[in-house]
């Protein structure tokens, strides 16, 4: 299976930031959820930004809106893993 490493530069709204903070705070109340697998050592800031990226990128996968994408995905760099 081929692999590609991709780096995105995303913009987000204050509302998206607040929603991600609330989500992470809620997940802290549920330490046995699959959400935490592989994330045990991450800081709150890393978790919050990962959540924002996940929601933005999964939203495009499930419901692509080119106008919205242009505003939020500012750049993308990809490199094939060898």
- State yes or no: pLDDT of 43 exceeds 70: yes
Place of tokens 């996968």: 61
Q: Is 3 exposed, middle or buried (0-12, 13-18, 19+ CB in 10 A)?
A: exposed
Average pLDDT along the chain: 83
| Integer angstrom CA distances of residue 75 from 8, 45, 71, 72 | 6, 21, 10, 9
Of the listed ranges 13-27, 29-43, 46-60, the one predicted with least confidence: 46-60
pTM beyond 0.85: the answer is no
Q: How confident is the model at residue 77 (pLDDT cuts 50, 70, 90)?
A: confident
Tokens of 81: 């893993």
Domain locations in the chain as residue ranges: 3-81
Region of 56 (left: φ > 0; alpha: ψ -120 to 50; beta: rest) is alpha
pLDDT at 59: 72
């Amino acid at each position: 299976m081929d692999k590609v490493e991709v780096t995105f530069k995303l913009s987000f709204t204050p509302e998206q930031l607040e929603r991600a903070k609330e989500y992470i705070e809620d997940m802290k109340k549920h330490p046995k959820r699959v959400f935490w697998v592989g994330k045990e050592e991450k800081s709150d800031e890393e978790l919050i930004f990962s959540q924002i990226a996940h929601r933005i990128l999964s939203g495009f996968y499930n419901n692509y809106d080119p106008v919205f994408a242009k505003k939020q995905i500012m750049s993308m760099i990809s490199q094939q893993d060898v």
